[in-house]
Structure 1
Amino acid sequence: MAIKDVSSTDEFIKGLWRENPVFAQVLGMCPALAVSNTAINALTMGLATTFVLLMSGLSVSTLRNFIPREARIVSYISIIATFVTAVDYLLQAISLELHRSLGAFIALIVVNCLILGRAEAFASKNTLGRSVLDALGMGAGFTFALLSIGIVREVLGSGSLFGVAVLPDTFQTWTVMVLPSGGFFAMAVWLLVVNRVKERQAEAEKLAQEATS
């Protein structure tokens, strides 16, 4: 049954913060840790995932009354795979070097639990408009999370940002940050920060409620 009591704005914003795919739901960890060694890789993966989220959400929401329940998962995966293939070819045409840098992780968007989860849990049960807002919000939240991790890793690991040097030559780069273990470290730091901010927000809301009661 479609959700009626959530505003359109909240439908979009929830994916950015409250239900952020990476920092709140801890989904899509494979690309979040593997390709976020540079900001450009993180941004590209985020945008590619957002495109697939949007197009698959549009398709599933439009066809939800025609897809047999027994075949819905197979149908969703087929739809997702179609748009992932389109993204893969598009990225090859735009930048072959960037495509090689991301390697197989573009193709692995097909099995990203975030995309299949939104198709099953939201797009298949809601209107086209809400499905678009949900996909854009979740995609923006996913991109924000990957970019946050990628910026930290590139600056500390290479002394650059989007390939441009931002730290002096005297800065001793942290080699570990460009390795997979650096992804875990950056992820842990961001989770700590996000959870702390949410705790403070909850405390402030509680105090505000007590003051008005």
Structure 2
Amino acid sequence: MTAPTAPRTILEYGLSSGNVALVQLLGLCPLLAVSSSLVSALGLGLATVLALTATNACIAALRRVTGRDVRIPVFVTVIACVVTAIELAMRAWLPALHGVLGLFIPLIVTNCALLGRAEAFASRHDPLRAALDGFAVGVGFLLVLLLLGGLREALGRGTLFAGAGALLGLPQLEWTLLPGYRGFLLATLPVGAFFLLALLIAARQRWSAR
């Protein structure tokens, strides 16, 4: 039986030492594709946090009745059910944001972080600790999404939370940093996402080394 993991250790791993985006380099496809704006990054990040938390808790609750031979199909089924529920809820309550994120919401099912945490942690711990682990890992991913999305939007358009009124119904969040700014095209393109993510990873490695 696995010894209980301290909550502080769980949080530190998800947010820093085991960050799925900057350390494990998982989920890079949605990270790079959706981070073109802060609003879309926030939407996908929150959906991922909810998916990780819920799937970890469910898998931990089922761990004693799931045989080792069928654990992977069970994990995938639980993940697919949770992500489908999140997608349907977003389509019902935030249709504009759902339209922007499009295929990347159901593609959360294929995010290696969900299956990885299910196998490495949720299947070996109680539901409460598993939910905390999923939340910490999801928030770590969300923070990187927000940082990358904010950098790309600020450099590329000179704005922050542009479109929050239409997508979230929160126009008060929209902020123009530089009126009349013509934008830096590279930051809005996929290659700009790769460059900025590389800089974030290098900065994190430098900080870790110090």
Question: Helix, strand or coil: the match of 1:17?
Answer: helix
Q: Mark the structure with the bigger radius of gyration.
A: 1
Question: How many Å separate the matches in 1 of 2:178 and 2:128?
Answer: 48
* TM superposition shift of 1:170: 4.3
Question: How many Å separate the matches in 2 of 1:165 and 1:47?
Answer: 21
| Residue aligning to 1:187 | 197
Question: How many Å separate the matches in 2 of 1:119 and 1:129?
Answer: 14
Aligned-residue identity in percent: 38
- What is the 5 A alignment of 1:63-78? 63-78=62-77
For 1:181, give the aligned amino acid: V
**Unaligned segments of structure 1, at least 5 residues:** 201-213
| Residue aligning to 2:168 | none
| Residue aligning to 2:169 | none
Could you tell me whether the CA contact under 8 Å between 2:60 and 2:124 is conserved in 1? yes
- What is the 5 A alignment of 1:26-45? 26-45=25-44
- What is the 5 A alignment of 1:1-213? 1-4=1-4, 6-163=5-162, 164-200=174-210
| Residue aligning to 2:170 | none
For 1:184, give the aligned amino acid: F
| Residue aligning to 1:205 | none
For 1:76, give the aligned amino acid: F
Deviations 1:104-145 (A, max 9, x none): 010100111000110011100111221111111101101011
Question: How many Å separate the matches in 1 of 2:66 and 2:134?
Answer: 20
For 1:193, give the aligned amino acid: A
Deviations 1:35-92 (A, max 9, x none): 0101111111111011111111111100011112111111111100101111111111
* TM superposition shift of 1:167: 2.5
TM-score, normalised via structure 1 length: 0.89
Question: How many Å separate the matches in 1 of 2:3 and 2:191?
Answer: 40
Give the CA RMSD over aligned residues. Answer: 1.2
| Residue aligning to 1:204 | none
For 1:33, give the aligned amino acid: L
Could you tell me whether the CA contact under 8 Å between 1:2 and 1:127 is conserved in 2? no
**Unaligned segments of structure 2, at least 5 residues:** 163-173
* TM superposition shift of 1:183: 1.1
For 2:43, give the aligned amino acid: T
**Aligned pair in 2 of structure 1 residues 129, 157: CA closer, same or farther (>3 Å)?**
same
For 2:185, give the aligned amino acid: T
The size of the alignment, in residue pairs, is 199
For 2:132, give the aligned amino acid: L
| Residue aligning to 1:203 | none
For 1:168, give the aligned amino acid: L
Question: Helix, strand or coil: the match of 2:46?
Answer: helix
